[in-house]
Chain A
Amino acid sequence: MLKFLFTVIRRDVLLAGRRRGDWLTAQFFFVMVVSMFPLGIGPEPGMLRTIGPGVVWVAALLASLLSLDRLFADDYRDGTLEQMLLSPSPIALLTLGKAIAHWIINGIPLLLIAPLLGIQFNLPAEALWMLVLSLAIGTPILSLLGSIGAALTLGLRGGGALVTLLIMPLYVPALIFGAGAVEGVLSGTGSEAHLSLLGAFLMMSLLLAPWVSAMALRVSVE
């Protein structure tokens, strides 16, 4: 069972490594969206510090959504997915592996870039640390919930925009708790409560999302 999971993850990470252009697009999208905000709002440091956590978090949501529509689509097009669905291993493990791979490919780089962007927004050191921590707990949620959307819209016209429409409202709690944790550091009200709620949401997504997206895959492929 675990072996199957690791195979799925390894395969996806390897495939992404061969197609570095696609992968870089999502990362640069993240950087660019965040950099647009000071240009649109103005360089006033106090204002930037207030909106910083929220902007980085919203950009993380968008970057994660951008890369989602290819989660199952490539395997679906060349027929690999159908073979995988026929294999005796549970489909929930396949979707879990895909979501973890998506997080490794797209989530972890965001964690590394986020502090740099935080500096641009004038965030102090503790807030930067909290930003990375909240993204570390939060981005797996984005990948897990996103896998449901990717499975539901598999092979549809305009799948990318549709995924955004379906999944964005479901991201709301992650956004509120994640950006709120950084906000808590900035305002001095503490962020433990935010982090534990974010953690609880992660646990719930981890338990439910792979099953739901497995069901969604079966609906979409059959």
Chain B
Amino acid sequence: MNLYHYASPSTFYPLAGKLIPWFAALAFLLAIAGLYISFFVAPTDFQQGEGYRIIFIHVPAAWMSMFIYVVMAFWSAIGLAWNTRLSFVMARALAPTGAMFTFVALWTGAFWGKPMWGAWWVWDARLTSELILLFLYVGVMALQAAIDDPRRADRAGALLNLVGVINVPIIYFSVKWWNTLHQGSSVSLTRAPSMAQTMLWGMLIMALAAWMYTIAVALARARTLVLERERQTEWVRAQLEGQP
């Protein structure tokens, strides 16, 4: 199999167009199944009542927010090492979705924290690192938006992305350290030991749905980016004859 064949924008564009509906359908079905488990199968928590059902989106969103950042760094590294334009496009297409999931994780964290901790915002280690992750996403997106030349924007964003991904574990460790020193809250959002099997399944299926959604949305965004960048080529001109 020739990887370079798939790395060429003219092959990628129609292929992505064919794949997007499948991933979108998968995301939809998985989300339905996940929501069914979260509301109709998972039992009421004896400690937190029905309020705990928020974790069925909070935890998958938090997973995805970190995972997407790492995947972005992966594409950035590939792009910088082999100079493949499509890798940069993928890294760039993932950023807004990653930022969206980070925001959702923060928002649901606040809505979980209000009834459980009595405050919308607590400087808990996880919430704080998630907030800094959002800042990192915003930084990459702001840098790419500020540079007009796409070649430079790609590379600059990729470098910042790589610096960020090296820093994320250090930031997480330092925030955790800071939190324990300042007597952080003893309740944590994810409670691994007492978690029932069905809860875990619900979270996993929701995470899979979020994953499929991310692939569909990122491919769609990458397609538009490719279209814009390759506007001078023959194949894009041929594409424009059809429907969007």
Enumerate chain A interface residues (CB-CB to B < 8 A): 148, 152-153, 156-158, 162, 165-170, 172-173, 176-177, 180, 183, 189, 197, 201, 204, 208, 212, 215-216, 219-220, 222
Contacts and interface: CB of A to CB of B under 8 A. Distances in A.
B208 interface: no
Secondary structure at chain B's binding surface: helix, strand, loop or mixed? helix
B235 interface: no
A220 B152 contact: yes
Nearest to A222: B152
Most buried by B among A153, A197, A219: A219
B54 interface: no
B178 A212 contact: no
A201 B80 CA distance: 25
Chain B: interface size category = 20 to 34
Interface of B: 80, 132, 135-136, 138-139, 142-143, 146-147, 152, 155-156, 159-160, 162-164, 166-167, 170-171, 173-175, 177-178, 181
A162 B174 contact: no
Contacts of A165: 135, 138-139, 142-143
B104 to A, nearest CB: 19
A172 B171 contact: yes
A152 B156 contact: yes
B146 A153 contact: yes
Nearest to A145: B163
B172 to A, nearest CB: 10
Contacts of B132: 169, 172
Given A148-B163, A212-B163, A219-B159, A166 B139 contact: yes
Given A166-B160, A176-B175, A216-B156, A152 B143 contact: yes
Given A153-B146, A172-B175, A220-B152, A212 B159 contact: yes
B147 A156 contact: yes
A84 B75 CA distance: 31
Contacts of A173: 167, 170-171, 173-174
